[in-house]
Structures are given as structure tokens and as C-alpha cells.
Amino acid sequence: MSTATELRTKYEPVIGLEVHVQLLTRSKIFCACSTRFGDPPNSNTCPVCLGLPGALPVLNRAAVTMAMKAALALNCAINPRSRFARKNYFYPDLPKGYQISQYDEPLAEFGWVDIEAEGKPKRIGITRVHLEEDAGKSLHEGFPDSDRASYIDLNRSGVPLIEIVSEPDLRSPEEAYEYVTRVKLLMLYLEVSDCNMEEGSLRCDANVSVRPAGTEAFGTKTEVKNLNSFKFLQRALEYEIDRQIAIVEGGGTVEQETRLWDSREQRTYGMRSKEMAHDYRYFPEPDLLPLVIGEEWKEEVRRSLPELPEARRQRLIREYALPEADAAQIVASKALADYYEEAAKASGEPKATANWVLTELLHLLNEAGKEVSQSPVSASNFGELVAMVSKGSISGRMGKDVLAEMTATGKRASEIVAEKGLTQVSDPERIRAAVREVMAASPKQLEQYRAGKAATLGWFVGQVMKATRGQANPQIVQEILKRELEKSEIRS
Ligand SMILES: [Zn+2]
């Protein structure tokens, strides 16, 4: 064991995550401005999201509904009454001088997400889910005078977010990765966010501490920010855990602080402590009424929840008799699961369809650099192809060629097979005729076969396949060949 690995087993990391998810509403949370990403800077703004004095916020019902969906899918209890609060701090991309968030009365609490840790199921607690507005964006790069000036784009100011806060139940960077993956998948199934990490619609901060393995008391935690990709999340946690272990081993104490992950340098570093900025002087937002959610609204949202990944995985196993691993791989993407089910219905062969989807479809998408949703072959056409292979009207080998042709031309499998005359020949009479012709033309090989050279059989199969331009069903060719060769032995 290396020293680092040895030290790691001496300590137990304790990790809690705060995941921010941008909601896919069309307008912002407290005004009617568009939430569209990529529009010209500051074009989607109004007095409310610019924070002009006297402008009043009005809560977007769609944002609340989406947040409720997320909370219910995370097994949270939705509070009948919650309240918005002002989180006061100064930053150039926050013109009001405060962010409208929720504090002591959040939208929802007491949930959980089940993950798998070292092959075993593990439940991670969700402390709370609350609603808040996003801040604007500071642009420090990409302008001619970026060395002296920063620019502010307030298009993002007021875009609705939910913050999902986990209990400190995660014990390794791998568990943290698995947890965020599950949360992201849930949000995608719910269609409440696109969870695009590059565009910042899913962001993650981590609270990290270490303690000697086997002890109960928590060590001092640091908050690591800027974990804007799954890869960074895992690396940053690994780095921070090792950093804290080294401090404790060296007899020092971990300082409670906020640290930023620097992906270029692959390390975390302490932020200038915002004058111990932890005191945000929260107080209830006086411009908004408390958020009251009645049973009826809650039930309406509950009824609108789609089938979630775990339920879908179990159904695929039950309904289509899929192996566990295949089902898990298919539901790991909603688009892939949708594609699979449509293709399976079209083919009537769910198991073969799963094989073809997980190998051939993923391969072709990978080659083309495309997502499932952009597949050049539609799910029903894909299903038709699988059906033709399953029924034996074309061979698996031909199926792959036909799929390549479908990808290139957008034509259906049946069209291509008809055009090229590719249909597999399974008619025994036609195959027997070809077998006899080959045998008659190959006296030398017949001699060898009779002399006990079993390998010659393969050569005969090849010749028959060639004679039928690859269209003969190879299994039937084998059977007929063996029979005909035996007969010729008896005759000779
Ligand atoms: Zn606005």
C-alpha cells in the first residue's frame, strides 16, 4: 500500500453536498423576463431582476410546481407554509444587494435518495429543498480590456433555482459522484432542468471534513465551491480529503473556510474570507407573502410525476425480462430508455432489441458524436431492423451493414434490403442445389474431407456462402453440407 492509501484508510471522510439546479421555466422566478441561455448580454432584464428601487417581485407558479416535483421525487415532505427570505451580501452580479432565497422555512424537508455504495444500497438523507433566485454573471474573460475590467451580464439574474441540501451521509468521493448522478437523473426524468453543467444549470458545492476511522465526532469542515463538472467534483473531493488528512497528521488543525477548486492547477485554495461573511443577516422577504401549498395542489403535482428511473428499471426487468445490468444501463438515460421502449415495441423482440441498442446503436451514436435524441435512425426503424434479424430474414452480419446504410441514407431497413436484394436465403432446396454444385466442382477437397480433414468443412461452408453471394443462412448451409458430405461418403 502506498503511504497515501494507508493514510486514507486511517481516516473517514464526511461529505455533504449542496446541489443547485436551474429550473426550466420559460420566465424568471419573480418577473416575466425570459430565461433563455445565450441571448445577448443584459437583453433579458427588467426593473425587477435589475434590482431597481421600488420594483416588486411576483412569484412564478411554474417554478413552485417544478420545485415541488423535484422535492416529491426526492421523497421530501412539502411544508404547507414556507417563506422567502433575503440573504444579504454584496457582489457586483447581485444588484439588489441581497438574494431572495428561503432560510428557516424551506419549501420541503426530510427526504432521501438511494444510491449504491460498494455494491450495496445506501440511503442518503436530504435535509431540505428550497427555492431561490440565481444571481447574474461576472465575465472576467473574452473582452479586449479584460485585463483591467470585468463585465456583468444580468440575464441570469432571477432565473429560478432549487437548492438540494444533503445530510453529511456521504463517505467517499465515489459516493458523492454516485449521489449527484442519481439526483441529476431524477431531475432529467422530471424534466424540471436540463442539468447542463457547462451552461451552469447544475452546480455543486461540498462540505468536507475528515475524522479518524471509527470515531463519531465530526472534524472541522471546509466548503469547497466551483465543482462544475462530475470530474472536478471527484478530483476536488480527493484533493481536499488528502489535504485535510495531511494537516491533521502533521499535528495541525483544519480551518473552517470556503475554498475554491482550481481545475487548471488541480487544487483547492482558500478564498479571501469574506470578512467571515457567514452572517448573511437573513430576514423574511417583506415584498412576498408566505408560500402556502394546499393538499389539493400537492396531490395534483404528485399525480403528474412521471415514472422515475428506479421504477422504470424494475418494470423493464419485469415486462421485457431484461437482465438487470441491461435494464440499469438503459434507464441511466431517459432518452435512451424512451428510444429502447419504442424500438422494442416496433420489433416485438425486447431482448434482442436491448442487445442491439446497447451495442450497435450506442456504437453508431458514439462514432457520429451524437446524443440519442439526435439519432439518425428512428426508434421504430431500428425496431424493424431488429425484427428482420430476429426472424432470420437477414443475418446479423447483414443487419450491421444495413444499419450503416440506414445511418447514411435515412432509409428504412426493409427498403434497403429490397433494393439490394439482401434477403437471407433459408430455402433448403436452393441451398442444397448450391451445396451440390460446390461439391461437384471440388473433387480435390472432397478427397481431403473423406481422408479425415474435418477442417475442410469450413472451406465448403465458405464456398457455398460465396456462391450465394453471402445470402444463404449459414446455419442451414452447415446442416445441409454435413448431410450431403455424409451421403457422398457412403456412395464412394
Ligand atoms: Zn426581469
pLDDT tens-digit readout, 330-346: 999 999 999 999 999 99
d(CA 458, ligand 1 centre) in Å: 74
Task: Mark the residues whose beta carbon lies below 5 A from ion ligand 1.
Answer: 31, 33, 46, 48-49
How far, in Å, from the CA of 457 to the mean position of ligand 1?
A: 78
CA–centroid distance, 350 to ligand 1, in Å, is 49
Q: How far, in Å, is the centroid of ligand 1 from the Cα of 160?
A: 12
Can you give the C-alpha Rg of the chain in angstroms?
31
- pLDDT at position 424, please? 74
Q: How far is the CA of 31 from the centre of ligand 1 (A)?
A: 5
- Tell me, in angstroms, the distance from the centre of ligand 1 to residue 61's CA: 16
| 146 alpha carbon – ligand 1 mean position (Å) | 27
Q: How far, in Å, is the centroid of ligand 1 from the Cα of 283?
A: 23
List, in sequence order, every beta strand (DSSP E) within 254-410: 258-262, 267-270, 283-284, 291-292
Region 221-242: mean pLDDT is 91
If DSSP codes are grouped into helix, strand and coil, which group holds residue 273? Answer: coil
Global confidence as pTM: 0.83
Ligand 1 centroid, distance to 33 Cα (angstroms): 4
Measured in Å, residue 55 CA sits from the centre of ligand 1 at 10
Determine the distance separating the centroid of ligand 1 and the alpha carbon of 48, expressed in angstroms.
5
Rounded to the nearest whole angstrom, what is the distance from the C-alpha of residue 43 to the centroid of ligand 1? 10
Residues 236-281 have pLDDT tens digits of: 999 999 999 999 999 999 998 889 888 888 888 887 665 455 688 9
Distance CA 379, CA 333 (A): 15
Distance from residue 332's CA to the centre of ligand 1 (Å)? 36
CB 152 within 8 A of CB 85: no
Q: How far is the CA of 50 from the centre of ligand 1 (A)?
A: 7
**Confidence band for 492, pLDDT divided at 50, 70 and 90:** low
User: 219 CA distance to ligand 1 centroid (A)?
Assistant: 43
Grid cell digits, residue 267: 487544487
Kindly give the distance from the C-alpha atom of residue 138 to the centroid of ligand 1, in angstroms, as a whole number. 18
Q: Running DSSP on this structure, what letter comes out for residue 14?
A: E
CA of 20 to the centre of ligand 1 (A): 21
C-alpha cell at position 451: 481422408
3-class secondary structure, 110: strand
Q: How confident is the model at residue 27 (pLDDT cuts 50, 70, 90)?
A: very high
Q: What are phi and psi of 349, to 5 degrees?
A: -130, 80
C-alpha to C-alpha distance for 457 and 446, rounded to whole angstroms: 9
> What is the CA(167)–ligand 1 centre distance, in A?
34
pLDDT tens for each residue of 275-285: 455 688 999 99
C-alpha cell at position 419? 433494393
Residue 320 cell numbers, joined: 421485457
CA–centroid distance, residue 157 to ligand 1 (Å): 8
Q: Could you tell me the distance, in angstroms and rounded to a whole number, from the CA of residue 45 to the centre of ligand 1?
A: 4
d(CA 431, CA 437): 10
For residue 155, report the distance from its CA to the centre of ligand 1, in Å: 8
d(CA 64, ligand 1 centre) in Å: 17
> If you measure from the C-alpha of residue 58 to the centroid of ligand 1, how many angstroms do you get, rounded to a whole number?
10
Question: How close is the Cα of 134 to the center of ligand 1, in Å?
Answer: 12
Q: How far is CA 205 from CA 75, 92, 158, 425, in A?
A: 21, 21, 20, 61
Backbone angles phi, psi at 176, to 5 degrees: -60, -40
Task: Using the mean position of ligand 1's atoms as its centre, give its distance from the Cα of residue 47 in Å.
Answer: 6
Mean of the per-residue pLDDT values for the chain? Answer: 92
Q: Which residues pair with 78 in a beta bridge?
A: 108
Question: What letter would DSSP give residue 376?
Answer: S
| 73 CA distance to ligand 1 middle (Å) | 29
Residue 370: HSE in the Cβ half-sphere, 13 Å Cα cutoff = 13
Distance (angstroms) between ligand 1 centre and the Cα of 34 equals 8
Q: 52 C-alpha to center of ligand 1: Å?
A: 10
Q: What is the mean pLDDT of residues 359-364?
A: 94
Q: How remote is the CA of residue 35 from the centroid of ligand 1, in Å?
A: 9
Rounded CA-CA distance 50/58 in Å is: 14
Could you tell me the CA-to-CA distances from 39 to 43, 49, 135, 155, 473 in Å, in that order?
A: 7, 16, 16, 8, 57
pLDDT surpasses 60 at 410? yes
> Residue 244: what pLDDT?
96
pLDDT digits (tens, 9 = 90+) for 412-466: 998 888 887 777 777 888 888 889 999 999 888 888 888 887 778 888 888 888 8
CA of 212 to the centre of ligand 1 (A): 50
